[in-house]
């Protein structure tokens, strides 16, 4: 079958890899000059199966209210006149109900466990390099109440087959000795030994290269404008090249992996995909004292920060801002990341050489991605992975390749 994959982020490229593995003739289209240059470019780097609980959870509404108007807050809602934003926000509040949170957590967890296994298999098969580390993920708490909640969450996660160990503050320092140089001491943590880290952009770029060697075609600098539907099928994909020429691409199947931009292509066809951008920031800094920089992947829950060692760099990523499609870098929000990094790892990195970045998480209100079929027989979606696109890419890619090929995916998930 001829398959067009729209979008060369980590989700599109991983899907293309599995589709090609199944013997399809695959072409990937993206407006950027290479793979993984938008949201997949400088994320937190964590393969964090243990972080399946969405941001829409019972503790979120109070936090969002408390932080309204605080420029440096980890979660910041900037109200705009957009009905899209308000509709998403109201649904987000609904997803904060305890029952919804539990259901969403379990959906994400099932897919994440499957995804972790698929990523390991892919790594073993291809020896793909992406500054990966398999040293587990330690979620650290500096607030006793938050830590108590974390212990209850650990019970749910453990009951579903993922090992999540509760650690004392002292245990956290033993697990990650670099924390001993911090200016603050954790009250405790939860540790997932099977979680990992790695550079999502390097992975996407290198997997695109491997896919090209296996026959996948990549068309960069091409903007997808709309889908042409006829008799219940997609008859063509209307695109524009960098030179301005319009073209119609045709295929037996079309897979939409456009991250945050997915709804703009699908809504004109009457397909709902409740995906809205949740902006985040990252800083990347060169490590100067290896013994004082962490190599276990960390999450600072109170500040909603992901910290990953990527080779000789340290990546600190986080914060969430509901602010539309703007990717401008806010100095203030990035500085908040730098200040926190200075508290946690004061002498580990060179703060004079900070690379700042902002990206738009393609988030659904419950953080559960939209994967599967549509009402058009040859149109499929793999998008809306929110805070966990890197964690979920391999499982989602394998599953959508199964669905496109007419097979049942090997994971229990609410597929479309």
Ligand X SMILES: Cc1cc2nc3c(=O)[nH]c(=O)nc-3n(C[C@H](O)[C@H](O)[C@H](O)COP(=O)(O)OP(=O)(O)OC[C@H]3O[C@@H](n4cnc5c(N)ncnc54)[C@H](O)[C@@H]3O)c2cc1C
Q: Which of 116, 280, 366, 397 binds ligand X (CB under 6 A)?
A: 280
State in angstroms the smallest separation of the CB of 144 from ligand X. Answer: 26
Q: Which of 361, 365, 400, 401 binds ligand X (CB under 6 A)?
A: 361
Please report where in the chains the tokens 């597929």 appear, as a residue: 415
Task: Determine contact, residues 72/336, Cβ cutoff 8 Å.
Answer: yes
Q: Which is nearer to ligand X, 43 or 50 (CB)?
A: 43
Q: Does 391 bind ligand X (CB under 6 A)?
A: yes
Q: Which of 46, 101, 107, 182 binds ligand X (CB under 6 A)?
A: 46
User: Binding mask 310-329 vs ligand X (x if CB under 6 A, - otherwise)?
Assistant: -------x------------
Q: Does 365 bind ligand X (CB under 6 A)?
A: no
For ligand X, how many residues bind (rule: CB under 6 A)?
41
CA–centroid distance for 244 within its chain = 32
Euclidean distance between CA atoms 392 and 395, whole angstroms: 6
Q: Which of 32, 165, 209, 327 binds ligand X (CB under 6 A)?
A: 32
DSSP string, 303-371: GTEEEEEETTEEEEEEEEEE-TT--PPPHHHHHHHHHHHHHHSTTTB-TTSPEEEEEEEEE-TTS--EE
Q: Which is nearer to ligand X, 62 or 242 (CB)?
A: 242
Among residues 218, 191, 202, the alpha carbon closest in space to that of 17 is found at 218
- Binding part of the chain for ligand X, among 77-85, 134-142, 227-235, 258-266 by CB under 6 A, reads 258-266
Q: Which is nearer to ligand X, 37 or 288 (CB)?
A: 37
Give the H/E segment covering residue 22.
Answer: none
Residue 165 tokens, joined: 């160990």
Q: Does 299 bind ligand X (CB under 6 A)?
A: no
What backbone phi and psi angles, to 5 degrees, belong to 364? Answer: -90, 160
CB atoms closer than 10 angstroms to residue 1: 15
CA–centroid distance for 369 within its chain = 10
Euclidean distance between CA atoms 52 and 110, whole angstroms: 9
Q: Which of 55, 92, 345, 390 binds ligand X (CB under 6 A)?
A: 390
Query: How many residues are given for the chain?
Result: 416
Q: Does 31 bind ligand X (CB under 6 A)?
A: yes
Q: Does 309 bind ligand X (CB under 6 A)?
A: no
Residue 293 tokens, joined: 């920089």
State in angstroms the smallest separation of the CB of 138 from ligand X. Answer: 14
Q: Which of 18, 44, 50, 74 binds ligand X (CB under 6 A)?
A: 44
Q: Does 388 bind ligand X (CB under 6 A)?
A: yes
Q: Which of 3, 26, 40, 138 binds ligand X (CB under 6 A)?
A: 40
User: Binding mask 394-413 vs ligand X (x if CB under 6 A, - otherwise)?
Assistant: --------------------
Euclidean distance between CA atoms 392 and 143, whole angstroms: 29
Task: Determine contact, residues 188/141, Cβ cutoff 8 Å.
Answer: yes
Residue 217 tokens, joined: 């075609």
State in angstroms the smallest separation of the CB of 398 from ligand X. Answer: 15
State in angstroms the smallest separation of the CB of 137 from ligand X. Answer: 10
Q: Which of 385, 401, 409, 413 binds ligand X (CB under 6 A)?
A: 385
Q: Does 333 bind ligand X (CB under 6 A)?
A: no
CA–centroid distance for 172 within its chain = 26
Q: Which of 140, 258, 370, 401 binds ligand X (CB under 6 A)?
A: 258
Q: Which is nearer to ligand X, 389 or 409 (CB)?
A: 389
8-state DSSP, 81: S
Q: Does 188 bind ligand X (CB under 6 A)?
A: no
State in angstroms the smallest separation of the CB of 61 from ligand X. Answer: 22
Q: Does 345 bind ligand X (CB under 6 A)?
A: no
Residue 63 tokens, joined: 């936090």
The sign one gets for the Cα dihedral 318, 320, 325, 329 is negative
Q: Which of 3, 4, 9, 172 binds ligand X (CB under 6 A)?
A: 9
Euclidean distance between CA atoms 172 and 247, whole angstroms: 56
Q: Does 216 bind ligand X (CB under 6 A)?
A: no
What is residue 122's three-state secondary structure? helix
Among residues 313, 312, 320, 326, the alpha carbon closest in space to that of 283 is found at 313
User: Binding mask 191-210 vs ligand X (x if CB under 6 A, - otherwise)?
Assistant: ---------x----------
Binding site for ligand X (CB under 6 A): 7-12, 30-32, 37-40, 43-46, 48, 200, 223-224, 257-259, 261, 280-282, 306, 317, 359, 361-362, 383, 385-391
């Amino acid at each position: 079958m001829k398959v067009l994959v729209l979008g060369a982020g980590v989700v599109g490229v991983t899907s293309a890899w599995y589709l090609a593995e199944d013997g399809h003739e695959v072409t990937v289209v993206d407006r950027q000059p290479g793979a993984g240059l938008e949201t997949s470019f400088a994320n937190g780097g964590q393969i964090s199966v243990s972080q399946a609980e969405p941001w829409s959870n019972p503790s979120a509404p109070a936090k969002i209210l408390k932080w309204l108007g605080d420029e440096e807050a980890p979660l910041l809602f900037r109200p705009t006149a957009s009905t899209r934003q308000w509709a998403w926000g109201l649904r987000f509040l609904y997803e904060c109900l305890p029952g919804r949170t539990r259901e969403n957590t379990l959906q994400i967890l099932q897919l994440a466990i499957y995804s972790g296994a698929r990523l390991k298999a892919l790594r073993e098969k291809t020896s793909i390099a992406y500054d990966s580390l398999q040293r587990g993920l330690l979620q650290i708490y500096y607030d006793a109440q938050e830590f108590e909640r974390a212990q209850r969450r650990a019970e749910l996660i453990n009951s579903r087959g993922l090992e999540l160990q509760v650690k004392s503050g002292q245990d956290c320092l033993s697990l990650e000795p670099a924390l001993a140089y911090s200016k603050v001491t954790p009250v405790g943590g939860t540790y997932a030994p099977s979680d990992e880290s790695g550079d999502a952009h390097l992975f996407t770029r290198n997997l695109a290269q491997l896919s090209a060697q296996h026959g996948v075609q990549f068309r960069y600098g091409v903007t997808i404008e709309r889908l042409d539907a006829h008799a219940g099928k997609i008859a063509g994909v209307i695109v524009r090249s960098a030179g301005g020429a319009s073209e119609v691409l045709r295929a037996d199947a079309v897979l939409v992996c456009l991250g945050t931009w997915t709804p703009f292509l699908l809504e004109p066809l009457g397909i709902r995909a409740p995906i809205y951008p949740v902006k985040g920031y990252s800083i990347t800094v060169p490590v100067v004292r290896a013994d004082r920089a962490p190599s276990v992947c960390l999450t600072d829950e109170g500040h909603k920060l992901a910290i990953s060692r990527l080779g000789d760099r340290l990546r600190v990523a986080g914060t969430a801002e509901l602010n539309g499609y703007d990717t401008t870098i806010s100095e203030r929000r990035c500085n908040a990341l730098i200040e926190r990094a200075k508290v946690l790892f004061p002498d580990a990195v060179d703060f004079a050489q900070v690379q700042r970045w902002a990206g738009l998480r393609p988030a659904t209100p419950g953080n559960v991605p939209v994967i599967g079929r549509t009402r058009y027989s040859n149109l499929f979606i793999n998008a809306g992975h929110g805070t966990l696109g890197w964690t979920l890419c391999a499982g989602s890619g394998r599953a959508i390749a199964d669905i496109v090929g007419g097979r049942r995916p090997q994971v229990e998930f609410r597929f479309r």
